[in-house]
A and B are shown apart, each in its own frame.
Chain A
Amino acid sequence: MEIEIYEGVFDANEQLARENQETFKKSGIYVVNLMASPGAGKTSLVMHTVSNLKDRMAIGVIEGDIASKVDAMKLKDLEIPVVQINTGGACHLDANMIKQALPHFDLNSLDLLIVENVGNLVCPAEFRLGENLKVMILSVAEGDDKPLKYPLMFSETDVLLINKIDLLEFCDFDLERARDTVKRMNDRIAIFEISCRTGEGLKAWFDYLYDKVSKKE
């Protein structure tokens, strides 16, 4: 006997993501899902972003890693609420992990929640968390061919931050080629060139994010 099901494999996660989204909306929180390879500069970006914006808005951070509290410890001096999720092997955060982390925050007091996903260019793109904005980092040391090799992430993201532009002279990274490739895959993407080390280009990102959070769009 054949039974028709037509149930999406990601349906359970999608449902939880929608519930998270409702929770965020009710509390008036804007949520950013930050994704990138290991070492691209996610934690550095979080630190710069929080330092710049925390006097203008209340920010919380969820740190996702397979193991350790290294990232949460790095953020300690910023004096904002930080929750570390250890996925214990899973290569991405999912909506349920975010849901479990939320009771650790005073949600009504937050304006912005930044979720630093597990370092990985593949899986996080597939799992919605209930976020308003998907942001990814590509560092120039990784090479400008990454959009072609990890297409889903680049097609899904709303914002691409090209980090470590202070290393451009040492790498064969062609900024124009990277921009062109990404635009062909995703024409609505916003691209910023930044260096978390020198601070170059970061102001444009802060202003962009501040505007998004203010308008809740």
Chain B
Amino acid sequence: MHELSVTESIISICLKHAYMNNANRIKKINITLGELTGIVDQCVTFYWDMLAKDTIAADAELCFTKVPVRAKCTSCGKEFRVKEYDLTCPRCGNQKADLLSGREFQVDSIEIE
């Protein structure tokens, strides 16, 4: 829902690093996106066209790598994929689990020329 402000952050991160490297154009942006963040990648792409249009990132391809939500049971140590945000261990039924992945949201790299 806050993809607009999130897109602004991504643009400013990309532009900062592009200028630091004297880039003329940003061709591609690689982003890691955890499924627990609730960010919709199509919305980011939609806002990108609006917000980046007068910058060197205007034509950049946005490439999202989605990370599933995974957790580890604190009792039996089972690692499992979390479905519907239910942290109950599928092996022993314990309800306490540590989140292993799913909250990631970062710009991994940019391709420039």
Contacts and interface: CB of A to CB of B under 8 A. Distances in A.
Interface of A: 1-12, 90-92, 94, 120, 122-123, 126-127, 147-148, 151-152, 154-155, 183-187
B87 A92 contact: no
Interface string B85-108: 111100000011000000001111
Nearest to B18: A3
B52 interface: no
A91 to B, nearest CB: 5
B76 interface: no
Contact of A1 (B13, B106, B113): B113
Interface string B30-46: 01000011100000000
A10 B9 contact: yes
B53 interface: no
Interface in B33-67: 36-38
A55 B12 CA distance: 46
A6 B106 contact: yes
A164 to B, nearest CB: 24
A122 B38 contact: yes
Nearest to B97: A187
A184 to B, nearest CB: 5
A123 B1 contact: yes
B36 A151 contact: yes
A126 B1 CA distance: 11
A126 B102 CA distance: 13
A28 B4 CA distance: 35
Nearest to A90: B5
B86 A9 contact: no
Contacts of A1: 21, 111-113
A2 B110 contact: yes
B17 interface: yes
A152 B95 contact: no
27 contacts: A1-B21, A1-B113, A3-B110, A5-B13, A5-B108, A6-B108, A8-B105, A8-B106, A9-B106, A9-B107, A10-B105, A12-B9, A120-B1, A122-B1, A122-B2, A127-B2, A147-B85, A148-B85, A151-B36, A151-B85, A152-B38, A155-B36, A155-B85, A184-B95, A185-B86, A187-B87, A187-B95
Contacts of A11: 106
A152 B107 contact: no
A9 B88 contact: no
Contacts of A4: 108-109
Contacts of B108: 4-6
Most buried by B among A90, A148, A183, A187: A187
